[in-house]
Amino acid sequence: MSLKPISECLIRFTAMSTVISNSKKRKTLREPQSQKIVHTYNIDIDSDDVVSDASQTSGQCATNMADSITAVESILMYDFKNKSLLEAALTHSSYTESPSYQRHEFVGDAVLGLAITDFFDLAYPDLDPGQLSLLRAANISTEKLARVAVRNGLYKYVRHNTTVLNDKVREFVIAVEEEDDIVVHGGQMKAPKVLADIVESIVGAVYADCGRDLQSLWVIIKDLLEPIIMLNVLEKQPQPITVLFEACQKEGKTVDIQHWRKGERNIASVYIDGKLIASGSSENKENAKLQAAEVALSKLTRLKSTTAMSLHLNAKGEIKGAKRKIHEVCNKRRWPKASYRMEQELGPAHDRRYIASVKIELSDKNQIFYMKGEERSKVKEAENSAASLLYYYLRELGYI
């Protein structure tokens, strides 16, 4: 594709937007004739409506696919010249009776990245490539595209022959519906990749149908991707792990983010120069790391520098009677009791060393406070070390 001057590109975008806008005014949003689509991720499906006979089910899918195509065209406000492209884009690989969306997804993944890059290159001509890369990543991530699929209802129209992902899709749909603000770096639960795949496959199908014209594609899909994460939003919600590493690197500090599982929860802890700074938990590993990094950053921003933070921590020492203080906090806030666990026993019997952890699990808020203490020569001292760190952590968060 030949590169054009920015001014010419902007003129083409404006002209194309006018054409599409007029087309959208003439076209009213259509609902599919059939309210329930069998073999889709639609969480409103009534099992009584599903035809049990295999041959009849296949015929039913074929009939409802026409309705699905109509519905998705209405969402896009774009009529496909070649309907088979959209049919394939709405077909999961588990449905083997017709081509799946895998090829469209492959193309859509690449072309969406290029379209987003082109958009930000025009929108921010003076922005450095590093920031442009962060903007692009935020807008084509699995978390972002999965929310596009949910908010536009695209997930309802994908046919498949697997029920493995149904529960995950259903849970994620409910979680997204409860979100108030733009989620830039991931919410409380992991987004099912199939939802992002749906968006990419539809983008790939549109790209093929509009003659592989990148600018025409962008005009068609831009509204679908809203809200687009712009620079002002990204500056308010920067990628916390990246910011943490950059801040510590400037101060000559080393950052280590450790991860492990506790039951069905993922827990991540941030260590700076070997000292535990913060922890976070989530059902998703990456989200747990993000939460831990966010808490660590909040501590950094409250102090003048990373060096000041380290000196502050060193000066604190350990709290005498920390376990009792944690118990008092739990009683005051009506939290469950803190539980202690011996994580490691080190050294020979005559020189045994212990590392303990403490956890407060708030099941009603889906939140876990967890800290691992320093190595100590006695079990009680190891537990007090963990309790001390948790006490400081809760105080930093404003609970004390």
Q: 182-241 pLDDT, tens per residue?
A: 777 666 677 888 999 999 999 999 999 999 999 999 999 999 999 999 998 888 777 788
Beta bridge partners of 358: 340, 371
> In which band, very low, low, confident or very high, does the pLDDT at 293 lie, cut at 50, 70 and 90?
confident
Instruction: Tell me what percent of the residues of the chain surpass a pLDDT of 70.
Output: 75
Nearest in space to 269 (alpha carbons), one of 158, 359, 174, 329: 359
Q: d(Cα 56, Cα 352) in Å, to the nearest integer?
A: 70
Instruction: Cite the DSSP H helix spans in 210-305.
Output: 214-225, 231-236, 240-250, 285-302
Domain boundary among 236, 263, 280: 236
The pLDDT tens digits of the residues spanning 145-177 come to 999 999 999 999 998 887 766 778 888 888 888
Residue 343 and residue 207 share a domain = no
Q: Tell me the three state secondary structure of residue 77.
A: coil
Residue 274 and residue 129 share a domain = no
Please give the full DSSP string across 163-215, using - where no structure is assigned: -TTHHHHHHHHHHHHT--S--SS--SSPPPHHHHHHHHHHHHHHHHHTTS-HH
365 occurs within a structural domain: yes
CA distances from 238 to 10, 138, 234, 259 (A): 28, 10, 5, 22
Domain boundary among 182, 209, 236: 236
Residue 130 and residue 45 share a domain = yes
Residue 18 has pLDDT above 70, yes or no: no
Provide the CB-side half-sphere exposure for 366 (13 A, CA): 10
Q: Strand 275-282 relative to strand 265-272: parallel, antiparallel, unpaired?
A: antiparallel
Residue range(s) defining the domain that contains residue 251:
240-396
Residue 297 and residue 212 share a domain = no
Torsion of CA 377, 383, 387, 393, to 10 degrees: 70
> In which band, very low, low, confident or very high, does the pLDDT at 50 lie, cut at 50, 70 and 90?
very low
Nearest in space to 24 (alpha carbons), one of 94, 73, 70, 64: 73
The pLDDT tens digits of the residues spanning 355-389 come to 999 998 876 656 778 888 888 989 999 999 889 88
Residue 122 and residue 13 share a domain = yes
Q: d(Cα 55, Cα 46) in Å, to the nearest integer?
A: 19
Which of the pair, 216 or 286, is modelled with greater confidence?
A: 216
Domain boundary among 182, 206, 236: 236
Residue 345 CA from chain centroid, whole number: 37
| pLDDT value of residue 301 | 66
Query: In CATH, what number is assigned to the domain containing residue 112?
Result: 1.10.1520.10
Q: Tell me the three state secondary structure of residue 114.
A: helix
Q: d(Cα 67, Cα 35) in Å, to the nearest integer?
A: 9
User: Looking at the 3D structure of the chain, how many domains does it have?
Assistant: 2
Query: Please, what is the end-to-end C-alpha distance for the chain in angstroms?
Result: 59
Residue 265 and residue 142 share a domain = no
The pLDDT tens digits of the residues spanning 65-89 come to 899 999 999 999 999 999 999 999 9
8 Å CB contact between 362 and 335: yes
Q: d(Cα 117, Cα 139) in Å, to the nearest integer?
A: 10
Q: Tell me the three state secondary structure of residue 81.
A: coil
Q: What tokens were used for 204?
A: 């790939």
Residue 160 and residue 89 share a domain = yes
Residue 346 and residue 292 share a domain = yes
